[in-house]
Amino acid sequence: MIIVDTPAQLGYKISKLVVSDLKAARQLNLTRAFLRLGFLIMLENVDMNILIAVVGLFATFAVQLIGLGKIYGMISSKLSVHDEQHIRHQTRLDEHASIISQHDRDIAVLTDRQVRGDGTNG
């Protein structure tokens, strides 16, 4: 349920804000007070249905951004898992390559010994 102020209550609130805005203008910046006052006057003339529609639009937009953030998070986490698996696989390939290289050296030594006729039992 939306509570709508009467014009008298709204006028009192605006006048109170004008006084506080003018005090703040002395302390901060004159343009800020006028911008805030202009925003309040603009809100006074806005139909409540339009205001509700605009707030709903921003809420929908925020929810969509949250959803896109979740999707982006899931994709980036899947990519990081994929990267970890790729690194693990590449490490295994490097280990296998070094083992194969060592076997090739052993075979070359044994073949050389066999060709020379060394007295090894192999």
60-103 tens-digit pLDDT:
988 888 888 888 888 887 778 788 888 889 999 999 999 999 99
> Which pLDDT does position 96 carry in this prediction?
93
Q: What share of the chain is helix, strand, coil (3-state, %, to 5)?
A: 85, 0, 15
Query: What percent of the chain lies above the pLDDT cut of 70?
Result: 57
> Which pLDDT does position 35 carry in this prediction?
63
SS3 (DSSP) at 3: coil
SS3 (DSSP) at 118: coil
> At residue 104, does pLDDT exceed 90?
yes
Average pLDDT of the chain to the nearest whole number? 75
**Could you read off the pLDDT of 8-20 as tens digits, one per residue?**
666 666 666 665 6
Q: Exposed/middle/buried for 77, CB within 10 Å: 0-12, 13-18, 19+?
A: exposed
Q: Can you tell me which residue has the tokens 């982006």? A: 72
Sign of CA dihedral 72, 76, 77, 81: positive
Q: Kindly give, in sequence order, each residue whose CB lies less than 8 Å from that of residue 21, ignoring residues fewer than 6 positions away.
A: 33, 34, 36, 37
pTM score, whole prediction? 0.34
- The predicted model gives 6-31 an average pLDDT of 60
